[in-house]
Every structure is written in structure tokens, then in C-alpha cells.
Amino acid sequence: MNNALILSFLTLTSTRTVEARVARARDGDSQAREDLIRDYTPFILKTASTAARRYLTVGKDDEVSVALLAFDEAINAYSSPRPGFLAFAATVIRRRLIDYYRKENRREEVPFSSIAPEDDREDWAIDAQVSRTYDLDGWSKVLERRDDIARWQEALTQYRLSLNDVMNATPKHVDARQRAMSIGNILATNRSLRNKFLAEKRLPILDILSVLPDDLKVSKKTLERQRAYITAIALVVAHNLGSLREFLEL
């Protein structure tokens, strides 16, 4: 992860998670609600089109209006600060579409079995035309990364760090950077180290030095110099920020 990469993160990131934005909207911030619905309209269309098994058009298909109202309903109903709003919203959208089809008596056109997830597993197969029109796969990845980065930033603040701190602490040489990433991965996957790291909100330097394999041996001074970078990598792994792990190949 070099400086250019971190800067690219900064262009994608939001300072608030989707759950924090939902809380603001639920507490009466009408602009936050409007912004949230606008930003997540592709998600709403994706969910509704997947359920309907056909391409849905804004302004043409009633299902879109049903899905938008369901998303607004989900904003009002979701009260947890923990990640999970989008999965909750998808469930509300599917349920409201089921109610809509029952009311319209359209079982033959769209079977309920195609809307309700089998064994509570979500089917995210999207009609090819929907993907081409909205580039939903690409949008979803950007959205997931943006939310992961927001959570990453929140985790970093607990260690009194910012993304700028991480950028400034990034090792300039590739081999040093790769070594630091390996150390961060060890920190996050070694249960004893990980628990201490997360509980004390600091880098347990002496403990890290005691478990490093020979090919990763570094000095205490080096660890202290790379503290921000190693901490950032460890937090990505420890909090399982999937899109960032994939992007960083962790």
C-alpha cells in the first residue's frame, strides 16, 4: 500500500458509515435522508430487480416505488449502530414486494419463491441488462470499499491515527512495505497479540518482536517508525474489512 494507493482511498471514503448516516436520517435530518436514498438508489434498484427477476425502470415500474418506500421504512426501523443496515434494508424491500404482488394478485408473473430467499440465503443474481445499465457490480464494490474505509478510519481513531498518518508512515521501499504488511498480518492473526492489540489500543512492540520468524526480524526502532502503517494493516485484517483485504491482497 503506497502513498498513491492511500490517496485513492481518500477519494472514495466517507467520514460516516452508512449506519451513522441512517441514524442521522432517523433522528430527523431530512437532508441526510434524501442524500441516503439518492446515494443508495442503485442498491435499491439492484435488490428490487433481483427479486422481480426482470429489469425495472424508474418512473415506469411500480416495484421501484415500492422498493424506495421500503428503503425509507428501513431507515425508520433500523436502530443498531453495528454494520448490517443494507442487509436489513434488502429484507424489508423483498417483504414489501411480496406484499405488493399479493395485493396485485400476480403470482403467475412473479412467483413468491423467486423473491423470498431460499433457506434465508440471499440470491444476488442480477439480470444482465440491469448490470449493463447501472454497472451495479462495479458500484457495489465501490460502495463496499467506501463503507469499509469509513470503518477503518473509525478504528484508526481509537489508536489516535488518521489516514494521513498512515500515508506518512508508509515504507518507501517495496520490500520494507511487504515486510511491514506481513508483520501487521501476524499481529492480527496471532490470538494473544491480537487480543492485546485490540484491548490496549497500541502496538505491542516487544511482544511482536518475540514471535517474528527469522525472515521478518526487524529492530525495535523499525517497528516504532512503522507503527502507524503496521497498525493500519492489522486493523484491516482484525476487523475483516473484506474489500480492503482483497484490494491489499492480505
- Cα–Cα distance, 17 to 148 (Å, whole number): 8
Residue 93 amino acid letter: I
- Cα–Cα distance, 5 to 247 (Å, whole number): 10
Residue 142 amino acid letter: V
Task: For 153-170, write each residue's pLDDT tens digit.
Answer: 889 999 999 888 888 888
Task: Reply yes or no on whether the pLDDT at 29 is more than 50.
Answer: yes
Is the model more confident about 249 or about 66?
A: 66
Of 117, 112, 118, 132, which Cα lies nearest the Cα of 46? 132
Task: For 121-143, write each residue's pLDDT tens digit.
Answer: 333 333 333 333 444 445 456 65
- DSSP class of residue 43 equals H
Task: Reply yes or no on whether the pLDDT at 98 is more than 90.
Answer: no
Residue 181: exposure state from Cβ atoms within 10 A (0-12, 13-18, ≥19): buried
Residue 179: exposure state from Cβ atoms within 10 A (0-12, 13-18, ≥19): buried
State the alpha helices, DSSP H only, in 27-104: 30-39, 41-52, 62-77, 85-104
Task: Reply yes or no on whether the pLDDT at 2 is more than 70.
Answer: no
The pLDDT value recorded for residue 241 is: 86
- Tell me the CA distances in angstroms from 39 to 10, 35, 66, 215, one per residue in order: 18, 6, 17, 46
Confidence of residue 31 (pLDDT cuts 50, 70, 90): very high
- Cα–Cα distance, 81 to 78 (Å, whole number): 9
- Cα–Cα distance, 89 to 68 (Å, whole number): 10
The pLDDT value recorded for residue 73 is: 93
Burial 193-205 (b: 16+ CB within 10 A, else e): bbebbeeeeebbe
Record the pTM.
0.51
